[in-house]
Structure 1
């Protein structure tokens, strides 16, 4: 055996030839009758020839062919000596792969009747791919082991069940605890959180439809919009909004009028999820105005009459707390308006707010007349944005503010709300 080891050490080409032969045996599980491999150096080709014997080897150019049927003695015994000389253990990767595939299939069939619709749909999809020896779960088992797959599936099932069952806002650290007991596992941008977002988008038609209507511009924005459809608080702004006006609410038979008192001093107030939880509206102006951008919100509030209108800053796309708050206001107010940027994104924010809240929110200063009166303050549309705008009007010709969108496209410019 030492003699074989020494010979393999002396010739790199011989060693590579033998390594490739053993790789082939591992892949197929069988010793082939013949084996060919490219050995460019003549000295290495000679080394292969004299290692196995001239009667077993044929050299044609840089191609060296080995006829294992002509090797003297038992081929299995000889191959076993080669494995030992290289310090390797013989494998049957084909058989192992088939066995692993069967194990994965049995595991997936066991978890498919889950109490999470998204998880169940995902497992069904992976089972179909498994029939063709494909799928990300099979790949995970192959790369990291069956035990890792079991743990991964348990985390996904717990997390998706938690998201589908709950409606109250949840911090990412709390969600991580629910998933795998680690507060840091589902931080913003983490691979596991991205996996949850991807599965929710792919296997929840309700979430996918809402996200698609918002027309995310890239994968990152799509995943963020997906997670915003859940109760997860992606950052501090997810569970609060700013408000100005004579708002009074009650909780546990106690009246809270600090928003109104601050409004009398010309001061907006930040309302949080904790403050509004189980609160009932006791007093509110008959008109509500939501404003997309913070700068415009503060400027508008300075001249607003707090007894006549409640002014709210949506900070772009409204969070779940604001949507829920608007739902509460339905029976208490007579008119709702939204004022945003005069561009495609501004219109989509209004469109989303109307759809998600179920309120008949009308546009404020988001029309062709306002645009034309301020067109000198506009910024040119990029070619990509023009394409998106044309596509939106073709797909949804009756979208709210469609007249504004047509005017924006015709003048090849958009206007920030702050410039009005």
Structure 2
């Protein structure tokens, strides 16, 4: 059976700005939001920035009177203020990365609770998540398209054109690199391993710490395999491929360190694996040829069962977060739907229109919290128990402009803080405990 590669639809990491070494802005406005750490995302070489349309701008304006907000900082000034703390909340901070920029950086959680960000002119920078101080930064040509650093094996990697370069997560010392011209699709992190697919049907695994090849294997039935979600609990990465006619999807579970194929299954439909669930389950979205998503599929390898949950309406390329048996699907427009996959046939729990589009992927935090970022620099928190908005920050535009980017970087949760980015070129953090006061 002939298969075609899965189509990557994850949001583009925004082009970024340069770092002003070691300086941070304590934000005087403490109304902000909280987010959970995103799982390691593939690094796409096919994404290209696109200008946001006027329709998007109107949608953002409608989301909350953006241009009417008050601005607490001058765009090119670095000032410091500490959040009043009678009860001892965590400090908020804001670090401006290249004050002249108009695009948002992209950040990711690194090993040991570290925070690393990329920006235009910066391949990677490490920021103290407690204070916002830039601990180190490594330059990159300003015209290079970069995405959030990818942690693997104690290093963080960044994509520059056709090359993947790494830095020591703690010190920023340059590490190994690899030319990606011979590979296709995405470079996907799987714990301390980096996985690469090729048009020959082979999958290559590189050690994240050294860049050494761990294994290279042709997977039976695959002609253009695409590494997908990684499950840290099992050590398995799920490689997928869709048939040429869009009626079947081949899913192979591979041990990231050894290349051993643990199980393989062909499922009906045009499916995209998007997350892993409890007990080794794989969550997939069922799509139409027009990229509209109609169902959520929960595949349980132990039993071989594939449970399908019909969505209340078709969703346009939603991004997914999973907690237990509950799957949260978020459209780029800001429409959020929660469904329970545990019961036969599933059931809808709630719907919420955040009116914040375009938005990032959803990220889960502690308790009943889900977080997302908006293109205007707002950070939003959702109470997943009630399906209601719990709080949001003010927009952080640059001179009233959204900037040029095709996707919105998701926020990160570290040590009780929620870290997000904005098109004014800043990285900011807030206390995640009380989103209603942000």
TM-score normalized by the length of structure 2? 0.24
Higher RCO (CA 8 Å, separation ≥ 6 residues): 2
- Structure number with the higher strand fraction is 2
As a proportion of its length, which structure holds more helix? 1
TM-score, normalized by length of structure 1?
0.25
Of structures 1 and 2, the larger Rg is shown by 1
